[in-house]
Structure 1
């Protein structure tokens, strides 16, 4: 006599679980540039983003900051891992396709990888951000 009640309760619980899972899946968003900018702003509130470029698959974003520094964001679920690139802490190489960069972060190596962009122009611009952000500070030489 008790088995039908147990089966009905299990069926109701299963339906409730499937409904809640469907609602959670609907609310889950894919990461995009807006979320990337918000996450970077939360991680580094004193840094102002000047420009941003996404990889071709939009799983990573490279940013140029207001003071010439560069940053990087990699998608993990619906949020981003944000990294402020420090001088001397990145190695950049080209890839055979011409649209990508091989990036090695010496202080954050789990983000290393080959990042492909929509065009070779974007890859070149990002490489200049990464390499140009590390200009040493020289004292101006006085002419005699």
Structure 2
């Protein structure tokens, strides 16, 4: 078989594989339909945890769940699946709330570093940040 024919077959095979993954839903991003789905997904991994509050991000990709003992549960979409974490103040490297109602969270966990999470309004972002343990909304308002 000549080299040009072999190259053409390889390129066609790769393109066909990528198209098959895309059209079968492999590039779809999961979103949470609501608080009930977030609670259900979190309970699959942590069935013994008592959830006291649930706040979803604007895009529906992440939910922050208030837990007892100064901990926060997180359900976050990665591709078409969800990851779950329980975070304490000791797990947080950096936390910031911006004026647009978003928090930037950096974690010490090497498997998931956190990210930027936008909420419907700033008060939701401040509530989540305060629950994470390293943010005082009253100090932020004084600085503004």
Category of TM-score, reference length = shorter chain: 0.5 to 0.7
2:129 to 122, 127, 130: 127
Deviation at 1:79?
A: 3.6
Query: For each residue in 1:98-135, what CA deviation from the matched residue of structure 2 results, as whole angstroms up to 9, or x when unmatched?
Result: 40111001114534211110001101100110016xxx
Q: Number of residue pairs matched?
A: 109
Query: Are the counterparts in 2 of residues 74 and 111 from structure 1 also a CA contact under 8 Å?
Result: no
Structure 1 unmatched runs, 5+? 1-21, 133-144
1:83 to 85, 105, 113: 85
* Root mean square deviation of aligned Cα: 2.7
State the partner residue of 1:101: 103
Where does structure 1 differ by over 6 angstroms across 4 or more consecutive aligned residues?
none
TM-score by length of 1: 0.63
Give yes or no for contact 2:30–2:61 (8 Å, CA) kept in 1.
no
Query: What's the offset of the Cα at 1:37?
Result: 1.2
Deviations 1:71-90 (A, max 9, x none): 11111345420001134111
Segments of 5+ residues of structure 2 without an aligned counterpart are 1-22, 135-144
Aligned to 1:88, the other structure's residue is in SS state helix
Normalised by the length of structure 2, the TM-score is 0.63
Q: Pick from 63, 66, 69: which aligns with 1:64?
A: 66
Contact 2:42 2:75 in 1 (8 A): yes
Cα distance, 1:45 vs. partner? 1.4
